[in-house]
């Protein structure tokens, strides 16, 4: 057999060995661990945004020289124990490459309960400093210390996530989200050009109406800026069906 042909057939043979041993009973995995030329020498990590590859590898407990056919569940359980990881999957590329794909828990906002902390849509606080996360997220005002305030805050986070999915351009210009005073079903969004009162569950059509209004307000603000006048602050009220009411903002009205 020529050297070039051996180089071609070696990976194929390794793949066949891995396929057979990975689908056999427990004794197959035990046998696989004894095959010294099937060992971990390279780890490829995908799916990360906030975590580094080294942090993922450390969570998995992968070490150079480990058998490539180690039980995947062992590594996956280590990954899922990381509070930043939602799910993980292990695959192999014989003879020496282990592949780790992770799905991270992603924050939807910064919760302000006296300290700014990154939170998921479920209200989970992520153990990462906001300054270390390359994300531009709105601040949600609420608390997670007791069940009553936590329930309100989680609802705010869920709605913030929903609005971000439906209208990402809008939410990129929203700096703060809070519950309207005395109206549990209404949110107050602090936008670059207005304070917005919007009911929970607003439809995509209503969000498009809001976008049109905000474009108009932005153009008016541009004219004011060019004229050297103070930029007017507006309140955009979306609480009434089929209506968008715009009036001068009264800070005490929407807080």
Domain locations in the chain as residue ranges: 3-104, 109-254
* Whether pTM exceeds 0.85: no
- HSE-CB at 168 with a 13 A cutoff on CA atoms is 3
The domains spanning 3-104 and 109-254 adopt the same CATH topology: no
Provide the CB-side half-sphere exposure for 133 (13 A, CA). Answer: 21
- Give the model confidence (pLDDT) of 129-182 as tens digits: 998 888 899 999 998 888 889 999 999 999 999 999 999 999 999 999 999 999
109-254 — its CATH code?
Answer: 3.40.50
Total residue length of the chain = 255
Sign of CA dihedral 229, 231, 234, 236: positive
Q: How far is CA 217 from the centre of its chain?
A: 31
Distance CA 223, CA 149 (A): 42
- Neighbouring-strand partners of residue 242: none
Instruction: Give me 41's structure tokens.
Output: 């020498």
Q: What is residue 148's predicted lDDT score, i.e. its pLDDT? A: 87
Superfamily of domain 3-104: membrane protein fhac (3.10.20.310)
Are the CB atoms for 93 and 100 separated by under 8 Å? Answer: no
């Amino acid at each position: 057999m020529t050297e070039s042909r051996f180089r071609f057939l070696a990976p194929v043979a390794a793949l066949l060995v891995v396929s057979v041993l990975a689908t056999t009973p427990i004794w197959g995995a035990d046998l696989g661990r004894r095959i010294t030329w099937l060992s971990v020498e390279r780890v490829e990590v995908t799916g990360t945004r906030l975590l580094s590859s080294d942090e993922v590898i450390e969570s998995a407990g992968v070490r150079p020289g480990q058998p490539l056919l180690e039980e995947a569940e062992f590594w996956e359980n280590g990954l899922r124990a990381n509070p930043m990881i939602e799910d993980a999957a292990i695959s192999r590329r014989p003879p020496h490459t282990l592949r780790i794909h992770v799905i991270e828990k992603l924050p939807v906002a910064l919760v302000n309960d006296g300290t700014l902390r990154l939170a998921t849509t479920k209200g989970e606080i992520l153990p990462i400093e906001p300054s270390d996360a390359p994300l531009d997220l709105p601040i949600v005002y609420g608390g997670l210390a007791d069940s009553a305030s936590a329930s309100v805050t989680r609802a705010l986070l869920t709605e913030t996530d929903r609005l971000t999915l439906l209208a990402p351009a809008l939410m990129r210009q929203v700096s703060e989200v809070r519950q309207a005073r005395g109206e549990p079903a209404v949110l107050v969004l602090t936008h670059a050009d207005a304070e917005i009162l919007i009911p929970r569950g607003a439809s995509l059509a209503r969000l498009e109406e809001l976008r049109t209004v905000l474009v108009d307000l932005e153009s008016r603000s541009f004219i004011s800026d060019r004229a050297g006048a103070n930029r007017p602050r507006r309140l955009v009220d979306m609480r009434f069906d089929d209506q968008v009411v715009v009036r001068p903002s009264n800070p005490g009205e929407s807080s």
